[in-house]
Structure 1
Amino acid sequence: MSTTQSQQITPQLRQWIVEQAQAGHGADAVLKSMLASGWSEDVAIEAMETTLRGHLEQQAVQSGLPPGVPVPDPKLDDSPLYVDAGDRRVCILQTMVAPRVVVFGGLLSDEECDALIELAKPRLARSLTVSIKTGGEEVNADRTSNGMFFQRGENELVRVIESRIARLVDWPEENGEGLQVLHYRPGTEYKPHYDYFDPNEPGTPTILKRGGQRVATIVMYLGEPDKGGGTIFPDVHLEVAPKRGNAVFFSYERPHPSTKTLHGGSPVLAGEKWIATKWLRERKFE
C-alpha cells in the first residue's frame, strides 16, 4: 500500500490544522511543516482545504450567517487560458475569489447573439423582479429595462446555450431558471442589488419551493452600447465591460451580503445594450 493511501486525515490532524490557523500561521508554513513530518503532499493539501473550509463555515454560522451551500464553479484550478464548454472553447479573461467572479470571453458567437435578440424582440415587456414580499412578480423602479423569458429548452438555440453553460460551470441544466433577455436604452439601468432571495422576507419560502436558493448568475452580453452599461460590483470596485459575446459569472454560497455579490447594470449612456441572464438554483427548477 502506498504512503498516500495509508495516511489518514484524523480528527487530531484537523484540530492541529485549525490551531495553526488560529495562531496566525499561513497556509504555506502549515503545508511545509506537514511535509517535513512525513505527510504526502496530496493528503496534506486535502486535509488543509477540507479542514479550513469547514472551520470557516462553522465560524460563519456561529456568527449568525446563513449556512453555506455548494455552488456552481468553473474548473480553473490549473489557471487555464481556455476551457472546454462542449461545443465551444471559451476564454478565461478574469477571475476573482471573493466574490467568486469569472469573466468569460467568446461564450456566445455573433450569430447566436443576433438570433437571441431577434427571437426576443416580439416578446419584450417592462422587466419585472421577483417580489420577496409575496413570492410573485412586480415592477421595480430600480430596474428600467424591457425583457422576456425563454422556457428552459424552449428551442434549439436555447438548448445549446444552456448545455454549454452547464458544462462550463459544472452545474445541472435542470437547476437553471429560464434564459432571460433584457434590452436597455439610453438612461436605463439596474441599480445595485443581490440575486439571492432574502431568507428573512415573507415571500421567500414560496419562491424557494421551485428549486431552492439562487446560487449563481451568468450575464451574457448580446449587444454593445456605445457608452456605459457595464456590470458593476460596488463592494469590490469592479466593473465588467459589456463586450458582445462575453459573459460574467458570479456565485454566492449563502444569501448574505458577506458574499460581496452586490451588483448592478450601470446606466446606458449611448446606444443600446442587450444581455441574456441565467440564474442557477440549488436544485431542479420547476
Structure 2
Amino acid sequence: MDFGNSLALSLCFLFALADLSHSAIQLPGWLGDKKTQAPVLRLNKGAVTAPFDPTRATPLSWHPRAFVYKNFLTDEECDHLITLSRDKLELSMVADNESGKSIKSEVRTSSGMFLQKAQDEIVAGIETRIAAWTFLPVENGESMQILHYEHGQKYEPHFDFFHDKANQELGGHRVATVLMYLSNVEKGGETVFPNSEGRMSQSKEDGWSECAQKGYAVKPSKGDALLFFSLHPDATTDTNSLHGSCPVIEGEKWSSTKWIHVRSFDKPSTNANNGGCVDENENCPTWAKNGECQKNHVYMVGSLDSPGYCRKSCKVCSS
C-alpha cells in the first residue's frame, strides 16, 4: 500500500470517527484497495491482546492532528513489553540534523532499546493493531522502541520528521507516531505539544507538572496510546507536531514508540536508487492522466524535503 492510499485512508477513518465535517485533501487513489486493507484487521490468534475498538479513539487536536486511544494495550501487554526490554536498555540517542547519525545529547536523557518486528506473537499483534488503527501498513513502521524514564529524565521538544536527507532515503519522512504508555507516572512525564492550537484552552488543574503548562499535554496512563501526525495531508511537514516528554518528578515512566514512514521502511526507495526518475506506484500513469501532477504536486512530483512518487509519469525528469 503506497503513501497516497495509506495516509488518506487513515485521515478518512479518523475524520469519520470524530463525526466532523472537516474536509481532507484527497491524495491519489484515496479510496484504496479492499484486497490490501482486509488483512490489516486480522489479529494473531492466541496472543493476549486487547480487542481493536476504534470507538475508544478520541480526537485531541487538529493542529497537529492528534488522537488518544484508551486502553489500547492490556496490562499484560504492557508488562510483557517491559519484561522484553528491561535488561537490554541503553542510553537513548538522537539523530544529528546534518549527518543523520545517532548521537548522544542532553536533550534526551532516557534509556531504551528496539524490539524486532514481530518478535513474538504479542508484539506482532500490537503491530497489526497499530496498522488497523492508523490505516498505515506494517511494512512502513520501524521496530517498536521501548523507553524508560527515571526521576528527572526527559526528552526536550523535537520533531519526528527528519531534517537530513540521509534518514529520508529509507522510508521517507516519518508521517505518524504511535506512543504507547506502559506504566502510570505518579507525577510528571506528560507528553507536551508546545505549538498545539489547544495549548491555551486546555484546563490544567492540580497534578500537572510545570513543563506540561507550556503546551497541550497528555498524561501517561498505562495502556493508553497517543497517535499524532508529523506531516500535513499534502505530505508537507507540520511544525505544530513539535512535542516532548516532560521530566519525571515522582515514580518512573515506561513507554513504547512506533514511528511510521510514508513508504516501506523494510526496503529502500527506488527513487533513491535510480536518480529520482521513477514511478513508485503502478497507478502513477493513470493518476498523471487525471491531472494529479498539478492537483497533488507534492505527492506526485515532490518538494524540497523529499522527491515525489510519480516523477516519471509527471515528466519532471529524464530516466
Same fold (TM over 0.5): yes
After superposition, residues 275-286 of structure 1 pair within 5 angstroms as: 275-286=255-266
Of 251, 256, 269 in structure 1, the residue corresponding to residue 229 of structure 2 is 251
- Do 2:7 and 2:135's aligned partners in 1 also have CA atoms closer than 8 Å? no
1:48-70 Cα distance to aligned partner (Å, 9 max, x none):
xxxxxxxxxxxxxxxxxxxxx94
1:229-281 Cα distance to aligned partner (Å, 9 max, x none):
01000112210110110011100225877540010001100000000000000
In the alignment, structure 1 segments of 5+ residues that lack a partner are: 1-68, 199-203
When the two chains are superposed, the root-mean-square deviation of aligned CA atoms in Å is: 2.2
Of 239, 244, 264 in structure 1, the residue corresponding to residue 217 of structure 2 is 239
Report the identity percentage. 38
Aligned to 1:77: 15
- Do 2:107 and 2:154's aligned partners in 1 also have CA atoms closer than 8 Å? yes
Structure 1 outlier segments of 4+, above 4 Å: 69-72, 84-87, 254-258
CA distance in 1, matches of 2:154, 2:108: 6
Please state if 1:121 is matched with 2:86.
yes
Please identify the structure whose Cα radius of gyration is greater: 1
Aligned to 2:174: 214
Of 103, 108, 127 in structure 2, the residue corresponding to residue 138 of structure 1 is 103
CA distance in 1, matches of 2:168, 2:7: 16
Q: What is the one-letter code of the residue matched to 1:252? A: S
Q: What is the one-letter code of the residue matched to 1:245? A: G
CA distance in 2, matches of 1:284, 1:264: 26
1:212-241 Cα distance to aligned partner (Å, 9 max, x none):
111111100001111010100011221011
Q: What is the one-letter code of the residue matched to 2:14? A: L
CA distance in 2, matches of 1:226, 1:209: 40
Aligned to 1:265: 245
Aligned length: 211
After superposition, residues 37-186 of structure 1 pair within 5 angstroms as: 70=7, 72-73=10-11, 75-79=13-17, 87=43, 88-90=51-53, 91-186=56-151
CA distance in 1, matches of 2:42, 2:224: 17
Structure number having the greater helix percentage: 1
Please state if 1:226 is matched with 2:186.
yes
In the alignment, structure 2 segments of 5+ residues that lack a partner are: 1-5, 20-39, 44-50, 200-215, 267-319
CA distance in 2, matches of 1:161, 1:258: 27
After superposition, residues 9-20 of structure 1 pair within 5 angstroms as: none
CA distance in 2, matches of 1:101, 1:249: 6
Q: What is the one-letter code of the residue matched to 1:268? A: V
Q: What is the one-letter code of the residue matched to 1:79? A: L
1:26-76 Cα distance to aligned partner (Å, 9 max, x none):
xxxxxxxxxxxxxxxxxxxxxxxxxxxxxxxxxxxxxxxxxxx94644713
TM-score of the two chains, using structure 2 as the length reference? 0.62
CA distance in 2, matches of 1:154, 1:268: 29
Structure number having the greater strand percentage: 1
Aligned to 1:32: none
- Do 1:74 and 1:170's aligned partners in 2 also have CA atoms closer than 8 Å? no
